[in-house]
Amino acid sequence: MSTTGDYGPVTQDVEQADDRSDRAPDIDPAGTARGERRYRFLVAGCSLSSYGTFLNMVALNLFVYETTGRALAMGLFMAVRLGSGFVAGLAAGVLLARFTARSVMLWTNAAQAAVMLSLILAPEGMRTAALMAVSVVVGACGTLFMVSLRSSIPEMVGDDRRSWANSLSITGRSLAMVAGFASAGVVVSLVGYTVAFVVDMATFVVCAVTVALLPIAGGGGGKGARPESERDSGGRPRDRKKGAWARRWRLPGAFLGSAAAPGLGLMVVLRGVDAFGSSSHNAALPVHSAGLDASRPAVFVSAFWCLWALGNVVAQQLIQRYAARTGRSVGAPGFGYGTCLMSGAFILAFAGFPYAATAVIALVAGAADGLTEVSYTSHLQTLPADLRGHAFGFSATVENLGFGVGMILVAAALDNHSPLTVVAWSHGAAIVVAVLFLIRVTGPRSGGRVPAPRSGADRDGQMR
């Protein structure tokens, strides 16, 4: 395994990447501090928006059931939401090639606020249609927002601060998830659905304002961007019309071709299998909790997710300190090791250990989950800017597919098998793929690196 930890920009040869990752970058301290302050402000707005999203996950499902009177409607609502996210992931790269990440982040929040307002104002006879609109818009816009944010982080804070920025974002999202889930029952019980929806709408507005106020360089190329793939050998822009058509087809194809590389392709596959495993513990936790205490089934679930979030936050703090001390990221192998540890911990969580032991397991699961998130996101961010949006969009599509298929299969399996059995099979599959991934990236032939392609075209016009 490589001891450098970070693999450097993938547009360079391996040796050049090593040299660049070990060499201290020439950074303006004042500019860096200013950029980090702006990014913290953005993360605060995103975390508030995430709180509203997780609050509404509970409130909307309950509202769907109360409005329709059918449990099947809740499943349809979730299916439409995941399906919208799946389609949005496919379109994300194209949108980020045409518009800036800032524009996408701004308008996705505005669209979600608008659709929540339509639900609040919808008359009783139009509520079902309004709910379906909410499902489509929130599912699609949530995916587009996350893809835009993650793909634009290197431009916001610099390549050397990717791990720190990812950790900060994940910390805020983890805390927002726990706060949203924990407060949902209280908010709905005390003040009703309408107030919950108003809160969610307000969080989207606040997030949109934070994006609008910040001078984010960000991510997508925008209409005027001219990536390397659209320049000639002398660096001059090629014909604009010809370049636009070539870019429309070349960039998605370039990323898909690069994903066929054993390391990067297997990494994305592992992400999808990991999402499949995540569906198992999300579906099995309420069943397992009801078996432990039928009179108070929410207690175990709430305590488990709170401990999971605490472990995640602790892991993010350790990762940030490691990155600050060494100037390196956890690297792609951290994704494989973290997946093995996380999946093993989730399996053990359903094994019936005493509560004290299960609490430790939940902490470990959260810490490992945080490690996998940072290492995976940071590595995809080493892709060239003109491929990064396609990478995160394709990854989001694979994740939504894995989670959606998993929810269907797991729900059916839980009718005939114990939660432990279902979770063990699902996360066991993730462990198997993670081991294959680790063999690939840490084996003697790989030199400890995930192979990644170069972007753009060679001078003779052939893709590299």
302 burial level (CB within 10 Å; 0-12, 13-18, 19+): middle
Structure tokens at 376: 């995976």
- 172 and 35 co-located in one domain: yes
The confidence score (pLDDT) of residue 374 equals 87
Number of domains in the chain: 2
Q: Which long-range contacts does 415-419 make (Cβ < 8 Å, 24+ apart)?
A: 418/350, 419/284, 419/285, 419/287, 419/288, 419/291, 419/350
Please indicate, yes or no, if residue 225 is contained in any of the structural domains.
no
The confidence score (pLDDT) of residue 283 equals 84
CA distance 103 to 464: 31
CA distance 362 to 35: 35
Please indicate, yes or no, if residue 228 is contained in any of the structural domains.
no
- 209 and 272 co-located in one domain: no
The confidence score (pLDDT) of residue 220 equals 47
Please indicate, yes or no, if residue 250 is contained in any of the structural domains.
no
- 188 and 264 co-located in one domain: no
Please indicate, yes or no, if residue 13 is contained in any of the structural domains.
no
| Residue ranges in the chain whose pLDDT is less than 70 | 1-35, 69-72, 74, 215-263, 297-298, 327, 329, 443-464
Please give the biggest Cα pair distance in the chain: 72
Please indicate, yes or no, if residue 180 is contained in any of the structural domains.
yes
Q: Which amino acid is at 332?
A: A
- 173 and 70 co-located in one domain: yes
- 79 and 216 co-located in one domain: yes
The confidence score (pLDDT) of residue 170 equals 86
Could you read off the pLDDT of 100-115 as tens digits, one per residue? Answer: 888 999 999 999 999 9
Structure tokens at 308: 């999971």
- 196 and 303 co-located in one domain: no
User: Which of residues 220, 250, 271 is at a domain's end?
Assistant: 220
- 323 and 421 co-located in one domain: yes
User: Which of residues 173, 193, 220 is at a domain's end?
Assistant: 220
Torsion angle in degrees (nearest 10) through CA of 276, 278, 283, 288: 130
The confidence score (pLDDT) of residue 427 equals 96
The confidence score (pLDDT) of residue 5 equals 34
The confidence score (pLDDT) of residue 230 equals 44
- 49 and 127 co-located in one domain: yes
Please indicate, yes or no, if residue 270 is contained in any of the structural domains.
yes
- 331 and 420 co-located in one domain: yes
User: Which of residues 220, 251, 270 is at a domain's end?
Assistant: 220
Domain span including residue 127: 31-220
- 209 and 285 co-located in one domain: no
Please indicate, yes or no, if residue 7 is contained in any of the structural domains.
no
Please indicate, yes or no, if residue 18 is contained in any of the structural domains.
no
The confidence score (pLDDT) of residue 454 equals 45
Q: What is the CATH number of the domain that holds 283?
A: 1.20.1250.20
Q: Which of 454, 407, 406, 400 is nearest to 147 (CA)?
A: 400
- 423 and 274 co-located in one domain: yes
CA distance 153 to 295: 45
Q: Are residues 374 and 167 in contact, defined by beta-carbon separation less than 8 angstroms? A: yes
CA distance 398 to 377: 14
- 338 and 422 co-located in one domain: yes
Q: What pTM value is reported for the model?
A: 0.73
